[in-house]
Amino acid sequence: MNKEQYLQKLRENLNGLSAEGTAEIMQYYTEYFEDAGPEHEDAVIEELGDPAILAAQAAEALGQTRIKAPGAPRPLFPSLPGFLRERGAAQEKSAYRFQEMDLEPFRSVYVHVRNCPVTIEESPDGRYGANVCLLLNEGETAQAGVEHGVFTVRISGRAISHRNTQGIQYVKLYLPPTEYDHIELHSSNASVLAGCRVSVRGELKIDTSNSAVNVSGIQDAEKIHADTSNGSIHFRSLKCSGLIADTSNGPIRIEDVSCDVCSADTSNASISVKDSIFRKCVADSSNGSITVSKCQFTEELKADTSNASITAELEGRESDYRVSADTSNAAIYVNGEKRGKSYSSDAGTRKVVLDTSNGKINVIYKPVLLKNMQV
């Protein structure tokens, strides 16, 4: 169900109210959706719940109780007009908003929030912009702005209560494709998305929990580090010296990446690395499969898991690699040929270490692709 469908069902369930009451309710909830923005449409629908129940609450609040949805609870507000005024005042008191699409240039970013999705997009007009909405607990304050070349968004203070944090909040940054010194994004229980053609002289660091991290388009960085829990990590179209993906119970996908050292660590989920170039790659999981395909590396590939399979597509010939592969209670296959539970090849210079238990290992040698091996 989208916004239009939800509002239509709400209107249908208001049948029987006065024209003035229906108009007041519809105007309020239409503006409620508009204030949240199209990207939060699903969250608003989930928050408002069944439109039939919402209509019954609103009707009863207005004193027009002809409409009653089965199972609809009694409203928590004495009257709809009073509720709207009180709700608006509460939002004004507990919400912090900052919107500026023509900020003075800055070279670093620091975001420290909670339960709030964070996105970085490429600026459409080359300007530095930000759109921030944060919901605060009593005793907390927030700030956003540029100082000494750093754009900062943070929540500070010690919360007295935790009653006002439910609702829609976000941090959206719009960056021109230029070089930045440092970008650090901290949130919790919310996703982080960075998709823009920028360079980072130092580190791009992302830290969240129970949600996904997606990073794409970074042209050059010293280090890109994403850390989450119970959420996925997706790195795509990146160039950096060091790349670290660290999560638990969430899959990791790395594709079209050029880096010196790549490290991927998860548990109970899969790791996929493909179409990438690196000097060294380490993939570590537990109870999750590992697949490395269409990649080139100059020094070492290491994959370690348990109770799951490993597939390594190696560009070149068997004589190009020093392979050590071991499994237990399963088998190793080299180009489709079964080799038992242990396999090694000591002819080449590029090192491959594959280790699992209770999972099979597939080693596949493929012709070299015409790719630039520089990292």
pLDDT tens digits, one per residue of 289-343: 999 999 999 999 999 999 899 999 999 899 999 999 999 989 999 999 999 999 9
Residue 126 maps to a domain: no
Q: Is the dihedral of CA 265, 266, 271, 275 positive or negative?
A: negative
Q: Report d(CA 118, CA 172) in Å as an integer.
A: 6
Which of 325, 329, 315 has its CA nearest to residue 369?
Answer: 315
The predicted model gives 213-220 an average pLDDT of 96
Q: What are phi and psi of 259, to 5 degrees?
A: -155, 165
For residue 346, name the pLDDT band (cuts at 50, 70, 90). confident
| Tens-place pLDDT, residues 189-202 | 889 999 999 999 99
Residues 21-48 as b/e (b if ≥16 CB within 10 A, e otherwise) read bbebbeebbeebbeebeeebbeebbeee
Q: Is the pLDDT of residue 360 over 80?
A: yes
- In this prediction, residue 86 has a pLDDT band, given cuts at 50, 70 and 90, of very low
What is the pLDDT averaged over residues 8-36? Answer: 81
SS3 78: coil
Q: Kind and range of the H or E element at 266?
A: none
- Look at residue 215 and tell me whether its pLDDT is greater than 80: yes
Last residue of a domain, one of 76, 93, 124: 76
- Structure tokens, 315: 């560009």
Report the range of poorest mean pLDDT among 16-20, 88-92, 136-140, 309-313.
88-92
Is a pLDDT exceeding 80 seen at residue 24?
no
Query: Does residue 119 have a pLDDT over 80?
Result: yes
Q: What are the angstrom distances between the C-alpha of 177 and each of 136, 162, 174, 180, 326?
A: 32, 39, 10, 9, 46
Q: How big is the chain by its Cα radius of gyration, in Å? A: 26
- Give a yes or no: residue 187 inside a domain: no
CA-CA distance, 224 to 213, in Å (whole number)? Answer: 12
Q: Are 198 and 180 in contact (CB under 8 A)?
A: yes
What is the residue-wise DSSP string for 307-321?
A: SS-EEEEEES-GGGE
Phi and psi at residue 208, to the nearest 5°? -150, -170
Establish if 363 belongs to a structural domain: yes
Kindly state whether residue 154 falls inside one of the protein's structural domains. no
Lowest mean pLDDT among 55-59, 82-86, 255-259: 82-86
pTM, full prediction: 0.74
Predicted confidence at residue 79, as pLDDT, reads 38
What burial letters (b/e) apply to 217-247, b meaning 16+ CB within 10 Å? bbbebebbbbbbbebbbbbbbbbbeebbbbb
- 210 by Cβ neighbours in 10 Å (0-12 / 13-18 / 19+) ranks as middle
Q: Which pLDDT band, with edges at 50, 70 and 90, does 63 fall under? A: low
Domain assignment present for residue 220? The answer is no
pLDDT at 48 over 50: yes
Does the structure show a pLDDT above 80 at 372?
Answer: no
Rounded to the nearest 10°, the torsion over CA 175, 176, 181, 187 is: 10
Give the burial class of 61: count Cβ atoms within 10 A of its Cβ; 0-12 exposed, 13-18 middle, 19 or more buried: buried
Distance separating alpha carbons of residues 17 and 220, to the nearest angstrom: 60
Number of domains making up the chain = 2
Short-list 177, 133, 172, CA closest to 151: 172
196 part of a folded domain: no
Q: 78 to each of 18, 60, 63, 85, how far by Cα in Å?
A: 18, 9, 9, 12
Give how far the C-alpha of residue 132 lies from the chain's centroid of Cα atoms, to the nearest Å: 17
Angle at the Cα of 100 from the Cα atoms of 99 and 102, rounded to 5 degrees = 165
In a domain, residue 356? The reply is yes
Which token pair is 165? 């944090």
Lowest mean per-residue pLDDT among 44-48, 56-60, 129-133: 56-60
Residue-range definition of the domain harbouring residue 54: 3-76
Taking Cα atoms as reference points, which of 162, 142, 161 lies closest to residue 152?
142
Residue 57 lies in a domain: yes
Mean pLDDT to the nearest integer, 101-121: 95
The last residue of one of the domains, among 76, 103, 138, is 76
Provide, rounded to the nearest whole percent, the portion of the chain with pLDDT above 90.
60
The last residue of a domain, from among 16, 43, 76: 76
